[in-house]
Chain A
Amino acid sequence: MHIVICIKQVPDSAQIRVHPVTNTIMRQGVPTIINPYDLFALEEALRLRDAHGGEVTVLTMGPPMAEDALRKALTYGADRAVLLTDRCFAGSDTLATSFALSRAIVRIGETFGAPDIVFAGKQTIDGDTAQVGPGIAKRLGLLQFTYVAKIDSIDVDAREITVKRRSEGGTQMLKSRLPCLVTMLEGTNEIRRGSLDDAMRAARSQIVKWSAAEAGIDDLNKCGLRGSPTVVKRVFAPTTRAEKATQIDMTDKTQHDLADELIASIFTRQPALEHELAFDGGQ
């Protein structure tokens, strides 16, 4: 089977700082990583390939430096990497991104064989929208399963798939057909340590690089800022509350005194709480 997995290179959010005066993101020196949610999808793709045979193609759209993320994915054992990179994609919102990625997937299909499954992470840690996966599915006319906790079975010959999908109060079990798009829930597996062989292969591998034209994208009005119905008008830091927290004075107090004093302060500010706690607490 042929599996395509879409990943994104993101700044390591733990190290993002905002410039105190200009309110812009200070990107310099911030290391980039593969979006952590994508690793669960990548591992699932690799497991399916190991079990059923076939190939895993990793796809990303981004600046030339996104090649690093693809190479990393190859070290985990992906078979092939495709970088979709072109200035015309700059400023893409989720609709324009899903357009470009879906066209690249069509081209991947023409070049390397039609995918049976397209994977994506649940969402990214920089955008957090969870919209690109469903967008790709809709554009390619694929069946869509988001928040998948487990792929129970796949029958490549019968073109069948059964999945467990997270829903608000439980887990939905669905049976459907290939090809489809799956976004994996976090924590569903653990990304493997790549083998030494994979690391050496990744270092040598030729990454497939496509411009918009090479990916078969000719309608540039659907790309980048022009293809994005949403417009970001203002980026700003949240306003800080005028007053800081009232600090409980620590001087000469034991932890028990402090605890009593804190509780007294809580109940002074929220008198109704004491009553509610007396009835509901300690269960």
Chain B
Amino acid sequence: MSNANREAPPSAGRAGIKRELPEHFRDYRHVWVFIELERGEVHPVSFELLGEGRKLADKLGIQLAGIVLGPPGEATQHAIAEAFAYGADLVYLVEAPLLADYRNEPFTKAMTDLVNTHKPEILLLGATTLGRDLAGSVATTLLTGLTADCTELDVVDGSLAATRPTFGGSLLCTIYTLNYRPQMATVRPRVMAMPPRTDKPVGRVIRHKLSMTEEEIITKVLGFNLDRQSAKANLAYADIVVAGGLGLGSAENLQLVKNLARAIGAEYGCSRPLVQKGWMPADRQVGQTGKTIRPKLYIAAGISGAIQHRVGVEGADLIVAINTDPNAPIFDFAHLGIVTDAIRFLPALTEAFTRRLSPHSHDKLAS
């Protein structure tokens, strides 16, 4: 295997001693962000990562590159242009028809070949179904460190300091990959803020050939079923989110959350215990282990506010908490609180919003 020479010498196993970077990793430079292009669209997490990557690159005094893997055509060209618009200094491009649909084999091959040829210091990917599938394979092929679901990225003593929740979100830990390269990390959508977009001309694009043919790829794509619109909970990117927790007492009472959400044009969700009880599907779960959200307004009804929930909602501009327990941890990070029973309060709030927003919407609600 071509990776035999990548192995670092055995280390002492203590963080303090693992500081010396082996000679063959010293020319690894620049921050790379994987631009996730799937079915013609760039996942917005890629732009959020470019925002973070920019800060890391500036701190290290190195360049920020976008990595675009895609089929020839407009969508790939658009992805390249967007990478520059969100701050990339250059783009590495692998363009091949067999990259039209995501498959682990060709994407892992394309990414690892790029890394071995152009040697990045840091490689960031979105923690999406695609990004996590790819990141694990790439890190194992390269035999380097990968830190999943980071909530904060920084540079400390020239190394990537990747902070993530641990123990189910009860604590945070900071993880380093000291003597392997690249230092890899994934970040969930919406954890990092969206950087501003500025129209810029397309800069330097470095092309790389994919040394793989369709015949060499065992897995074939038979088809793709788009989610039905109704099932497409766009929770992560919603402007307003209403979520319910165990305080609602029963699965039936989740209707109160849905009613409020509908009245104010919000997405609805729930806390983790409700998914575990089977009251709501997993794609509606709000929190570190579900969807991280950054809405303008977040209303949490009957949610106590465990740390893993908090980590997933802290980016909201305004957090309103409704809970019967005045000592519930959610009041430690909410901006506005009401100590009352959500089951009684939600209908009143729905009605008050409806009244205030439009005198005519009563008819709509009844229909």
Could you list which residues of chain A lie within 8 angstroms of chain B, going by C-beta atoms?
Answer: 11, 13-14, 16-18, 23, 25, 36, 91, 93-95, 98, 125-135, 137-139, 143-147, 162, 164, 166-177, 186-187, 221, 224-226, 228-238, 240-241, 244-248, 250, 254-256, 258-260, 262-263, 265-266, 269-270, 272-273, 276-278, 280-283
Contact = CB atoms under 8 A, between A and B. Distances in A.
Contacts, number: 302
B223 to A, nearest CB: 5
Contact of A235 (B132, B161, B171): B171
25 contacts: A16-B167, A95-B145, A130-B136, A131-B135, A137-B137, A167-B129, A168-B43, A172-B221, A187-B282, A226-B10, A229-B177, A230-B147, A232-B174, A233-B15, A235-B172, A247-B338, A250-B338, A255-B340, A258-B340, A259-B352, A269-B335, A281-B263, A281-B264, A281-B265, A281-B353
Contact of B171 (A25, A137, A145): A25
B310 interface: yes
Interface in B249-276: 262-265, 273, 276
Contact of B352 (A16, A138, A186, A256): A256
Contacts of A131: 132, 135-136, 139, 146, 148
Instruction: Report whether over half of chain A's contact residues are helix, strand or loop; otherwise say mixed.
Output: mixed
Contact of B102 (A167, A234, A250): A167
Contacts of A13: 167-168, 170
Given A126-B168, A128-B289, A168-B130, A278 B357 contact: yes
Given A146-B129, A170-B227, A240 B332 contact: yes
Contact of A282 (B144, B220, B276, B358): B358
Contacts of A16: 167-168, 170
B336 interface: yes
Given A232-B173, A238-B310, A246 B336 contact: yes
Contact of B351 (A18, A256, A281): A256
Interface size class of B (residues with CB under 8 A): 35 or more
B226 interface: yes
A13 B225 CA distance: 34
Contact of A143 (B105, B146, B177, B335): B105
B11 A226 contact: yes
Interface stretch (B52-60, B89-97, B342-350): B342-350
B321 interface: yes
Contacts of B84: none
Contact of B338 (A187, A248, A276): A248
Nearest to A256: B348
Interface string B200-225: 00000000000000000011111111
